[in-house]
Structure 1
């Protein structure tokens, strides 16, 4: 595996907290990857995420589209986002990373941070935008920035389009897998870890497609109901970090320990919160009904756990495909493949994700490999094409 192009560790002079930036690759001189904030974040974690971003960009390469893939990068800050000093640390990190953000690192929200918060901190750090490095690649910067701002202002039933785009992609990945296996949408049971940006919007799309959300987990524990949860009520009762006010629960809704989202009987499990959520030990808790684990979070299933799950007939749909619509939606909108319209965004996302998931699963079947290995094989086919056309480091 090639070493990253840039690997930086920053130490906050006020608190001693550390932050990290890893640029895995540049394409046309620019890279793309969000900024996460969580207690315990490490340089190795950020490096793995940056490699994943290189793959996500390559997977969405469409020579007919206006959006041209960028390189992969990622930022991370070792701090609990609920810490009273977290915002100050974020501002100081962005100020320190300003030369990179101005030149070649486009970033945005990730685990622990919202886009609104990133935008506010970026402005305080003296940045024009967290994605300003891509502006020189746009045909009409003013129109593109207006289009993206308009898109972020769109809401659908109380949730912003920027939040819904990623969940739409995850949900379509689930539906594509069900369709390929000949499993009906109606009544298929789903357990979701995390009801934040990704998990919440995924739960909404799947519930509206007829699937039964039987469990969701947040920082307070797991909420479960074998007959299905009222997803919209839970979404309306979330705080900024995805924690649900238990006052909205119905009599039949049970409160369980946080780890019980794994053991609730469901055909589909969706880790949508933290990395490293499913390991070789706790995977044993996953029930016999499970057929798919769909990685809405980044790197939630450890490799040894994935191997053990495969022996049990549980297929893991990998993060580099499943959650890639979040990143792609930004660029589809900014480059002008889609406008600031929810219906257009959802239709484009569904078509793109359906084609990508179908290609991955067909490749896995043909090669006799896992979906993750198939996704990596597709990336390996596309990277030389992108490098030949655009170069890695220009």
Structure 2
């Protein structure tokens, strides 16, 4: 069994050793500041009592309030929350946002819950953690299994205890103090990072680049559509039910319509059926894992035929697989660089809420793209100067910024 937090700390330790951090500083930076584990008990539609467990791990707030998503999924546990909270600390630092890192969620299966049950779980969870979140404490956001509606319920329930404060959570509906561009932010960011990677690494445009995308949820679908609009050839996509491929390129707008109607990519007439395993081993220029974490182990890493990997998902690569990719000279753009678009636009939403002023979509897109371009360039340049991987460079940059904030503030 792999442990996500252990894997994240493996990357942290490697970067910390390059920086020459003392053992005391490494422990200080790696240890979560607070961990919450709460019972979320509700009455189910059947009249039975449903008992769920909720988590919120607050990893570091040296640079600002804790920030990170809430995940509703059967895999949610302390280990996953610790890992993802830690990654948020380094991610917000890499893209230079005034945040720390947090993460959490509820261990439940949203596919087996009614809308009313989902709302009751959300409100009960907020009742358990409301004293520990807030616009200047910890700001949750959507993640796997949650969406703008869930964020609206959180804002409303939090307001019952603390008054109307939209900035307590991001990813809200636009009609309820949300931000334009938030829903597509992560996928848009992955596409921009892909463009920057291709230009910096191979000096080639997106147009004509072959891409395979594992996962066609919010992140994968928006990533596919943006790259398609840039001229990339999306030759395969997959979801939890299977995949579809076409060596001539899939018609992504038509595929999106198919998924909207059927809730899955399987059965799309514009390509042949394929498995997730086939997709991950295809010969493409860029492979984008955009589903859950823990996709690549050492064995699968040996089978990958893509020229590069861009991590749209959180923690898709185990350390032993990362070593295989490094040995095989397959560059990997890490999650804390590639999928930061969501937290970037969440920051814009938070700022808009605090200002009581709405930005235009053009302003949001311009500022988001600038941050992606600058953060990738900083990581790429550091990797070249130090002769390390993009992942190591990203961790070095993030740890430097968080560590500096810790030292300046004092204990």
State the alpha-carbon separation in 2 of the partners of residues 28 and 11 from structure 1: 30
Q: CA deviation at 1:80?
A: 1.7
* Contact map agreement 1:147 1:339 (CA 8 A) in 2: no
Change (3 A) 1:18 1:120: same
The equivalent of 2:143 in structure 1 is: 110
Inter-partner Cα distance in structure 2 for 1:309 and 1:335:
39
2:199 is the counterpart of 1:179: yes
Structure 1 counterpart SS, 2:309 = strand
CA distance in 2, matches of 1:59, 1:245: 34
- Provide the rounded CA distance (Å) in 1 between the counterparts of 2:384 and 2:63: 34
* Distance of 2:325 and 2:224 partners within structure 1: 23
- Output aligned runs, 1:154-165, within 5 Å: 154=180, 161-165=181-185
Indicate which of 101, 104, 107 corresponds to 1:75: 104
Q: Distance in 2 between matches of 1:256 and 1:164?
A: 26
Give the CA deviation at 1:175: 0.8
Change beyond 3 A, Cα 1:292–1:199: same
Please report the TM-score for the alignment, with normalisation by the length of structure 2: 0.81
1:98 maps to 130
- Give the alignment partner of residue 215 of structure 2, picking from 182, 194, 202: 194
Distance in 2 between residues matched to 1:327 and 1:73, nearest whole Å: 12
Which residue number in structure 2 is paired with residue 24 of structure 1? 59
TM superposition shift of 1:25: 1.4
| TM-score normalised over the length of structure 1 | 0.84
Q: Which structure 2 residues correspond to residues 119-158 of structure 1 after superposition, within 5 A?
A: 119-124=152-157, 126=160, 132-133=167-168, 149=176, 152=179, 154=180
Q: Name 2:68's counterpart in structure 1.
A: 33
Query: Which residue does 1:157 correspond to in 2?
Result: none
Asked if 1:220 is matched to 2:252, the reply is no
Is 1:3 aligned to 2:31, yes or no? yes
2:40 maps to what in 1?
12
1:274 aligns with 2:292: yes
Tell me, yes or no, if the aligned pair for 1:60 and 1:69 is still in contact at 8 Å. Answer: no
Cα deviation for residue 124 of structure 1 reads 4.7
Distance in 1, Cα, partners of 2:105 & 2:173:
28
1:118 match: secondary structure: helix
Whether contact under 8 Å (1:26, 1:392) holds in the other structure is no
Distance 1:53 1:268 in 2: 24
Within 5 Å, give how 1:305-320 maps onto structure 2. Answer: 305-320=321-336
Can you give the 5+ residue segments of structure 2 that lack an aligned partner in the other structure?
1-26, 42-48
Q: Which consecutive residues of structure 1, in runs of 5 or more, have no partner in the other structure?
A: 62-67, 136-144, 155-160
1:165 and 1:345 in contact (8 A); partners too: no
SS in 1 for 2:60: coil
> What SS does the corresponding residue of 2:398 show, helix, strand or coil?
helix
RMSD: 2.9
Contact between 1:151 and 1:340, CA under 8 Å: does it hold in 2? no
Cα 1:83–1:243 shift into 2, 3 Å:
same
User: Which residue number in structure 2 is paired with residue 140 of structure 1?
Assistant: none
**Separation of aligned partners in 1, 2:403 and 2:304:** 39
Query: 1: distance between equivalents of 2:178 and 2:229?
Result: 22
Structure 1: distance between partners of 2:375 and 2:341: 11
Say whether residues 1:45 and 2:80 are aligned partners: yes
How far the C-alpha of 1:17 sits from its partner, in A, is: 2.5
Paired with 1:133 and 1:277, the residues of 2 have a C-alpha distance of 32
Report whether the alignment pairs 1:249 with 2:269: yes
Offset at residue 265 of structure 1 (A): 2.2
Most deviating of 171-180 and 346-355: 346-355
SS in 1 for 2:112: coil
Moved more, 14-23 or 310-319: 14-23
CA distance in 2, matches of 1:29, 1:186: 39
- Cα distance, 1:21 vs structure 2: 0.9
- Matching residue of 2:259: 238
